Structure 1
Amino acid sequence: MKLAEFITEIAIYGLIISLMIHHFCFQSFKVMTRSMEATLIGDPNCGDRILVKKYAYEFKKPKRWEAIVFFYPHNNQQIFIKRLIGLPGEKVHIRNGEIYINNILARKPSSVVNQLLYPVYQPQQPFKENWQYSEKWQIDKQQYSINTNKLEWCKYKHVVTNRYEPINNRRFFHRQQYAYPVGGGLRVGEIRFAIRFKMRSDTGSIRLELREGEYRFLCTIDTAQAGQLHKYIGEDDTKKQSVHFKANWQKNSWHSLVFSNIDDLVTLEIDSKEVAKLDYSQKQQQAQRITFDTAFRWGVSGSFELENAQLWRDIYYISKRDFFGGLTSFEVPNHHYFALGDNPPNSRDSKDWQRFCFFYKNGISIEGDQKNFPHGKTRKFTDIYGFDRDIPHENLLENYLSRQDAPFIPQSYIIGRAALVFWPITRGKIIY
């Protein structure tokens, strides 16, 4: 066989194999919008490039919280990526930023939580501008020390700034208020706080206090390595729930501490080991109404060195129908799914989708997706085949437009599961 024929044959086989892999196994996509930030960075020019497992659902059904890629149900020329929330036959509720499935709170797996956490305060930000504290604290960039006989607090200020700044080697809109910018001063009380500490005295304690709506959580750890975690209602000192635990730390040794309130579950970790857990979840009907009182503070008594305080907030799901903690519900039909973006205020997803139908005077109707409705002699929309249409007014009935919610994704429209970010290399990661 001649060399040219051999090379040609190899090229043909390689092309066939690559086409088969592309068709049956994997396909790459570029993320074009911000709807999945901060999990995925979207931009028409430099958005994340992801690899999609097209065979992921050939032998198993999609699972909740997976990031799926699919054809937009109302224009199959468009491809979307969202996080799967509701499965066939389920009733999905959005209430107070949480997802309830059939009246039960849907908790996210830890891998998904870690990917959805949004940085509120990170070490590269100025400590003095973001925390309130007394003169007894000695602050040197991200190292803090104190020697006191009484409890001294550091309280987060809720500084609100609207600016772009680098967070974890990325640039995206960063708002230091706990909430997404949804208006009304709404704040997210589900947070995670992390810090490193070293106790220098023989006696002392660490306290952490979080307020979320009407609830107040207080965690105390003392030098006897005994700890308590309590839930209160408002300023009432009557304990509504309590957890007692042991915390193992050594004097003059550095330890890490992580305090979280995620999905109605308060946890405390010391040196990456969970030592306390308080579950205060309720059924959807009893879930608290949102209030605008959210605060977090941490404090110590004794002699301590501390460093690298960090604060994140959890995702807060909203519906444009009700910004302020109300209830929005959807019943998922068989063979369909319900999906939401990881950046709710900037995501057009199942909570917003509607189907439009235009009625002609001659009795014909056309289904489509709203594009815009300018004032003038025509109405514009995109039909279900992806074609833009201009309809003259004189051809339409007086009540020419019908709208109805159409939030669900047919199973046949799902392309596959988003597996990983492969470009840019600096943002490469597995997608959970």
Structure 2
Amino acid sequence: MAPTLQGRHQDVDCPMCGFPYRISASQEIDPSNEQKQADVIGGECLNCRYWACTNRQQGKLLGYPRPFNAGALELDAESKSANGDRIIVSKFAYALREPERWDVFVFRFPGNASRNYIKRLVGLPGETLKLHRGDIFRAGQVAKNETEARGLDYTIVRKPPRKALAMAQLVHDNTYQAEQLTGSGWPYRWDLWPRGTTAAKGDWEPVDNHRRFVIEGKGLSQKTSWLRYQHRVPDFGQWNRIVRASGVKKSDAKRPNLRDMQPVPQLISDAYSYNSGILFQYPPQVQSNRAAMGMYWVGDLMIECRLEVLAAGGSVRLDLVEGGKHFACTINLESGVATLGIDNAFYNSAGEPSKLPEALTSIRGPGIYELRFANFDDQLFLWVNGKPIAFDLPSTYPPLDNTIPVSDEEEGGDLAPVGIGASGASVAVDRLRILRDVYYISVPSDLSFTRSYVRGPLAADHYLGRADVVSAARQVLTEQTNWPKWFSQMHALYFPLDRFGNSDRGQDQFFALGDNSPQSKDSRLWATPHTEYYVERDLLIGKALFIYWPLTHIQWVR
């Protein structure tokens, strides 16, 4: 499971942006005999998308085309594989209390009780689960078959704040800037909105190569000045051109032309650096997983930043877009009151307009505050200085029919899905990070369809090789005119989980999923003539508590 628990891996510091990340090296070991069969020699940085080489000696044995980017053999990203995390498991936890949804738990694999597995518990006895569009839904009864399951009423399963935080996956950390990338003219991810706007008095101004933004707006117009994020990521070929151009004088006729690279914004996807390992085998041959950078749009997002209030007064607004709708938290910098809104309104569980939820925070006047705002599982969360904020009304909302991404020329829509606005305020923001929720992929154990899409270039009836998958994913994430067709329908999976009486309580059924959904062998994929998709109570071993090795990864399991 990644990133909560990780197996054999390499720790890499990106040679371009400096971002530290991990890549899986579990494929180095042959599971049949536990012997080493290959070497992982590189992977892709989630932050700047540069493919680094972690073993120059083996990398030099490969001819062109190399699986890592130009210049990788000259840059220092050397790393050796380390064994997986070691954990402390409480074997008494479930003797003292019932297993809880979102626990990380250890159990004996239903298909082979001699093997222990560790996953996240997402389904409980006595309910039917539906996996759809990356989320988990539940019905409070057990369906007899799929036809009955399709006819049940479902509600989304929501994470509590601590689990939402624990499971969030990084999308971009603005502190780590690839100077060679931005120096080539590649646009910054965060910038004044609309793009191309010249900053006037009272607008945001970038500092420290766009790592920090400052606005001196107190006493000026009450209009909102916006910063917005766009997910403009270079592909493999674009990075090659940028690196090669950096070593050639601008006056040289052989210098690659960078003007036609077209760095178009795309939807945020379910990307994992952890899955991007480049595998080297003898005789020299290589496997590279460029599809690790995601095939599915993820609309459940989180923004983190450090806010420095330079003078009392005005307001700051944190804005997240999903399916064209704006989910916002506006903070009054004088009173400290935070107000939630969805397109400047809010809705109760019945879908009726309601009062906007409010809460009093510790943000009052000049000072430095750590902010975090999230829209996960149809619920809005706010943290200030690491503490979750409780609102006077529920911050949950009903289905809003926003399951199709929207492009808005004026406001950006889902192609500019995160924003920070300031009105009449003098503030600075830095340490900007964007995270996303886990996206659970709906793929059945019989592989009757291999992707969740029903239509489009990534649909299940399209057989695609590795390179074609990357090209098709870019199409899906960028071609706005086709989004209503491609995203209107997605495959769903259904899983009934039985509950038994006291005498047969050991047969109660639980459902297990991994946080690294693209690579996790979990309950979705177990159903065979010899293996059920559920974990019976008698197979539970305990609750994972603490990672004690390696020393660099010591932490509580959340």
Q: TM-score range by the shorter chain?
A: 0.5 to 0.7
- The match for 2:438 is 315
Alignment of 1:221 onto 2:272: no
Distance in 2 separating the partners of 1:316 and 1:209: 21
Q: Does structure 2 retain, via aligned residues, the 8 Å contact 1:289–1:326?
A: no
Amino acid of the residue matched to residue 300 of structure 2? Answer: E
Can you list the C-alpha shifts for 1:394-425, whole angstroms capped at 9, x where unaligned?
A: xxxxxxxxxxxx31112222222222111001
1:397 aligns to what?
A: none
- Which of 170, 178, 192 aligns to 1:119? It is 170
Give the conservation status (yes or no) of the 8 Å contact 2:452–2:492: no
Question: Could you list the per-position Cα deviations for residues 73-131 of structure 1 after superposition, in whole angstroms to 9, with x for gaps in the alignment?
Answer: 12334321111111222111222322222223322233322221111222432297321
Per the normalisation by structure 1, the TM-score is: 0.68
Corresponding residue number in structure 1 for 2:159: 108
Query: Does 2:121 align with 1:84?
Result: yes
Q: Distance in 1 between matches of 2:330 and 2:388?
A: 17
How many equivalent pairs are there?
A: 331
Distance 2:395 2:308 in 1: 29
Change (3 A) 1:415 1:162: farther
Unpaired runs of at least 5, structure 1: 1-35, 164-175, 357-367, 370-405
- Distance (whole Å) between structure 1 residues aligned to residue 131 and residue 270 of structure 2: 16
Q: Please tell me whether the aligned partners of residues 161 and 381 of structure 2 are also in contact (alpha carbons under 8 angstroms).
A: no
Q: Per the alignment, do residues 275 and 63 of structure 1 end up closer, same or farther by CA in structure 2, a change over 3 Å counting?
A: closer
CA RMSD, Structure 1 to Structure 2 (Å): 3.1
Task: Give 1:144's aligned amino acid.
Answer: F
Residue equivalent to 1:38:
3
CA distance in 2, matches of 1:270, 1:417: 30
**Aligned partner letter, 1:304:** V
Kindly state the Cα deviation for residue 258 of structure 1 after the two structures are TM-superposed: 2.1
Structure 1 residue 223 displacement after superposition = 4.5
Name the counterpart of 1:132: 191
Which residue of structure 2 lines up, in the alignment, with residue 418 of structure 1?
544
Contact 2:340-2:357 within 8 A present in 1 as well: yes
Cα 1:422/1:205, change in 2 over 3 Å:
same
Alpha carbons of 1:249 and 1:59: their partners in 2 closer, same or farther (altered >3 Å)?
Answer: closer
**2 CA distance for matches of 1:50 and 1:184?**
29
Matched, 1:257 2:257: no
Q: What does residue 291 of structure 1 align with?
A: 404
**Contact 1:247/1:275 (8 A) holds in 2:** no
Letter in 2 for 1:347: S
What is the deviation of 1:233?
Answer: 9.6
| TM-score (norm. length: structure 2) | 0.53
Partner SS, residue 78 of structure 1: strand
Report deviation, 1:311.
Answer: 1.8
- What letter is aligned with 1:131? W
Percent sequence identity over matched residues?
28
**Greater per-residue strand proportion:** 1
Q: Take 2:298 and 2:439, find their aligned partners in 1: how far apart are those partners?
A: 7
Instruction: Tell me if the contact between 1:194 and 1:256 (Cα under 8 Å) persists in the aligned partners.
Output: yes
| Stretches (4+) displaced over 6 A | none
- Distance apart, 1:245 and its partner CA: 4.7
Q: Looking at CA atoms only, which structure, 1 or 2, has the larger radius of gyration?
A: 1
* Residues 351-430 of structure 1 aligned to structure 2 (within 5 Å): 351-356=524-529, 368=530, 406-430=532-556
Give the conservation status (yes or no) of the 8 Å contact 1:120–1:177. no
1:99 is paired with a residue of what secondary structure?
A: strand
Matches within 5 A, 1:184-333: 186-201=296-311, 203-225=313-335, 227-232=338-343, 240-241=353-354, 242-246=356-360, 249-271=363-385, 272=387, 274=389, 276=391, 279-282=395-398, 288=401, 290-293=403-406, 294=414, 295-301=417-423, 302-321=425-444, 323-324=452-453, 325-333=490-498
2:288 maps to what in 1? none
Equivalent position of 1:159 in the other structure: 232
Q: CA deviation at 1:143?
A: 2.8
Structure 2's unaligned 5+ residue stretches are: 9-25, 27-81, 140-153, 179-186, 200-204, 237-265, 272-290, 346-351, 407-413, 445-450, 454-489, 500-507
When residues 223 and 355 of structure 1 are mapped into structure 2, their CA distance, relative to the original with a 3 A threshold, is closer
Residue 308 of structure 1, CA deviation = 1.6
Counterpart contact for 1:188–1:316, Cα < 8 Å? yes
